[in-house]
Amino acid sequence: METKRRKVDDECRVFKEEWGFKYFFVQSQSKNGKAICVICNDTVAVMKEYNLRRHYETKHASAYSQFKDKQRTEKFETLSRSLSSQQNLFRKANSENESLTLVSMKVAYLLAKKGKPFMDGNIVKECMMEAVGVLCPEKVKLFKTISLSRNTVARRIDDIGNNILHQISGKTQRFTHYSIAMDESTDVSYTSQLLVFVRGVDDDLNVTQELASVNSMHGTTTGADIFKELQQTLTKYNLDWNRLQGVTIDGGRNMSGANIGVVGLIRKAFESAGATVPIFLHCIIHQQALCVKHVDISCVLKPVVSVVNFLRSRALNHRQFRSFLEEIESESVDVSYYTAVRWLRCGKVLLQFFKLRKEIKIFLAEKNHPETLLSDAEWLWKLAIFADVVTHVNNLNLKLQGKNNLICDLFEQINAFRAKLILLESHMNECNFSHFTCCEKFSTETDERFPTIFAVKVIPDLKLEFQKRFKIHMTATMATFQVSFKWK
């Protein structure tokens, strides 16, 4: 026997406008959309005419049954407007609270992004109060309620970090294939910092690239130590080892060692599990930096670093040097320290030193600390040559950086630079300074001949090193990617 279905649309669940006139009820604007009495503000759980009528008859019929027709309609509208005003007041207060919290979160995010102390939140609030007091004084009371104390900023940043971690974890769960990149370096406090980057793709070919973790290693930094940190990072994001397709590392022994290095330990783990061993790559940017270090520029770099240290290491010398540059209205206002760990620093230091060579010579003479090489035209030619060559390499380094670069794009940049080296070599032989701005400038200031024999040795050495590091390895890498990488 077929059961008789209830007519839900006719008797309940859907609010009818006539119930307002009959029983003084309106539908709530909240998500649940329950019926609410405009007289006592009570709600009815089940939006059914019987329930509304019973509520009205038992609680309000004796007082409101006297209202008829137009008078009843006006009374209902008055009560409805009163209820709406109360709801809007609470809704506005909730909206303001949400906005204040959002402002606090955004300020905390900016402080963390810029690496500022947490207590700077109070300074930001003072600046906001000064601006609001001038532009819109009526909003001063509202802005005073923004919480930017040190503890609040710390708590906000912690919440933002947890939220970002949650978002990344959600994305990594959808990875079908992923690769990792690791970089280990020592900071100013002699603490080893291991950075692990992850890049993956899901079934819809959406690529996600994020910094997965920063691990401080206070003890040893052997391959086993780094491998342990890597395991913890992958476990935190629930990343399956079987989906790992590529590992990018630097050339350190603790990373690239075939037996006890990270590469060897990962290979052993995959082979013991019977899984396909991922592709191991040496960071392209790191290899490019090693190519430059292969070229011996010590004859120029050591004197430059010595002079820069004299100018910068003593506060008095540095202040006097900067004042001297301001007095003569020099285009450059200072020289930078040379730091070997920063790959772009060498080119910047040489270029700054070349531009300020005359000013530095005069200043050193006034300080009774003359540098004879600054009067040697042959050495200045070498300075100009290396400044131009390293600047070209720095430009390549900047092109290799950035997000969402595919290996084929990087390979194209390397090939283009190798072709450029051939052009630069021919220009060196012809004393053509079209691509050598420092050499071109110095050629107009000296009668000393361009040291062609010395110059033509620099480019071939650099060209040979690029050929050794990239020709075989990059070709093999591209072929491996084409064979092993499969889209689902």
Q: 404 by DSSP, 3-state: which? A: coil
Structure tokens at 432: 């053509």
Instruction: For residue 216, list its beta bridge partners.
Output: 193
Checking if the pLDDT of 4 tops 60, the result is: no
For the packed helices 298-313 and 315-327, what is the interaxial angle rounded to 10 degrees? 100
Q: How far apart are CA 408 and CA 285, in angstroms?
A: 14
Average pLDDT over residues 36-50: 78
Checking if the pLDDT of 339 tops 70, the result is: yes
Tell me the backbone φ, ψ of residue 219, rounded to 5 degrees. -100, -135
- If one compares 342 and 239, the residue with the highest pLDDT of the two is 239
CATH of 177-282, one of 3.40.605.10, 3.40.630.10, 3.30.420.40, 3.40.50.300: 3.30.420.40
Tell me the backbone φ, ψ of residue 435, rounded to 5 degrees. -110, 15
- CA 280 vs. chain centroid, Å, equals 25
DSSP secondary structure string for all residues of 449-487: PP-HHHHHHHHHHHHHHHIIIIIHHHHHHHHHHHHH---
Torsion of CA 263, 268, 271, 276, to 10 degrees: -20
pTM over 0.85: no
- CA 468 vs. chain centroid, Å, equals 33
Q: Closest Cα partner for 335 from 357, 365, 368, 316?
A: 357
H or E segment and range at residue 85: helix 69-113
Outline which parts of the chain fall under CATH 3.30.420.40: 177-282
pLDDT at 399: 87
Q: How far apart are CA 181 and CA 317, in angstroms?
A: 43
Residues sharing a CB contact under 8 Å with residue 306, sequence separation 6 or more, in sequence order:
none
Confirm if 195 and 182 have CB atoms less than 8 A apart. yes
Checking if the pLDDT of 384 tops 50, the result is: yes
pLDDT at 480: 44
Tell me the backbone φ, ψ of residue 477, rounded to 5 degrees. -65, -45
Q: How far apart are CA 341 and CA 281, in angstroms?
A: 21
- What is the widest separation between alpha-carbon atoms in the chain? 114
Asked which of 16-20, 358-362, 396-400, 471-475 is least confident by mean pLDDT, the reply is 471-475
Average pLDDT over residues 24-48: 74
Confirm if 209 and 198 have CB atoms less than 8 A apart. yes
Type of residue found at 212: A
Considering the chain, what percentage of its residues have pLDDT values greater than 70? 90
Kindly indicate the confidence band of residue 461, based on its pLDDT and cuts at 50, 70 and 90. confident
Q: How far apart are CA 348 and CA 417, in angstroms?
A: 19
pLDDT at 379: 92
Average pLDDT over residues 420-424: 88
